[in-house]
Amino acid sequence: MKFGIFNLTLFFVGSFLSAVGIADEVRIQQELADQSELIPPLQQALGKDAFDEAMASGKYSYTGNAKCRLCHRDFFLGRKEDVHDYAYKKLLNASAKNAENPRCLNCHATGAGVKGGFQSMEKTPRLANIQCEGCHGPGNVHIKRQLANMSVGKVGTKSKIVLGGFLAGTDNPALLKKMCHSCHTPRWNRAFIDFGKAYDSYKRAKPGEAP
């Protein structure tokens, strides 16, 4: 039998893919066997006290990324090519029987385990995958501020730029970095060869694109 270069390539590609698949399966089994308390990424990043205080204030709620699109069309469209936007779909495709498991959803959906966040595909389909608010936290306060600011800016006057309003906004990069690490734990850390570089790429509408 002739074992040509094409077959050889197929063989190596095949073994590489199955090795990656096996590695995922091992991590999935470890995750399923994990008895530690399930803490939402937002709570991990903020710490329990700050998280409880923010939630008790009743100020924050998730809006879904369709709202963000109204003013950030470039980011919304750019993110359609980012893996985070497919994190629930990937979970469903790779491991359908676990697609409703709260342990998996904690890191593969937006705001799972947080009041007003993702609950299930039936109840909250608009919060599937890791959307804008999966990293930045609930967006309603930000939107309210931006709308108020826009209505202040009358013709001939320039409305000032207002920032803040997010629990994990760009005014708090340290917290935003903690958000990354609360999902990208040592078990789920394949994403990073260079964390700083990966982080910085999210300053752009299309992550991974050259600056």
- Which residues here bind ligand HEC, judged by CB under 6 A? 24, 28, 31-32, 41, 63, 65, 67-68, 70-72, 75-76, 79, 83-84, 86-87, 90-91, 94-95, 98, 101, 103-104, 106-108, 130-136, 139, 142-143, 146-147, 161, 163-166, 169-171, 173, 176, 179-180, 183-185, 188-191, 198-199, 202-203
CA 89 from centroid of its chain's CA atoms = 13
| Residue 115 to residue 107: CA distance in whole angstroms | 16
d(CA 5, CA 9): 6
CA distance from start to end of the chain: 50
**Would you say 112 and 40 are in contact if contact means Cβ atoms under 8 Å apart?**
yes
Nearer to ligand HEC (CB atom), residue 46 or residue 139: 139
Q: Note whether 106 and 173 are within 8 A (CB).
A: no
Closer by beta carbon to ligand HEC, 25 or else 52:
25
Distance CA 100, CA 102 (A): 6
Q: How far is the CB of 184 from ligand HEC (least distance, A)?
A: 5
Between 7 and 100, name the residue whose CB sits nearer to ligand HEC: 100
Max CA pair span of the chain = 80
Six token digits for residue 206: 């299309």
Closest to ligand HEC by CB, 8 or 209: 209
Instruction: Supply the minimum distance, in Å, between the C-beta of residue 60 and ligand HEC.
Output: 11
- Closest contact distance (angstroms) between CB of 37 and ligand HEC is 12
Shortest Å, Cβ 44 to ligand HEC: 9
Is residue 18 within 8 Å of 159, Cβ to Cβ? no
Which residue, 7 or 93, is less far from ligand HEC as judged by CB?
A: 93
Q: How far is the CB of 47 from ligand HEC (least distance, A)?
A: 16
Q: Is the dihedral of CA 183, 122, 139, 200 positive or negative?
A: positive
Residue sitting closest to ligand HEC (CB): 139
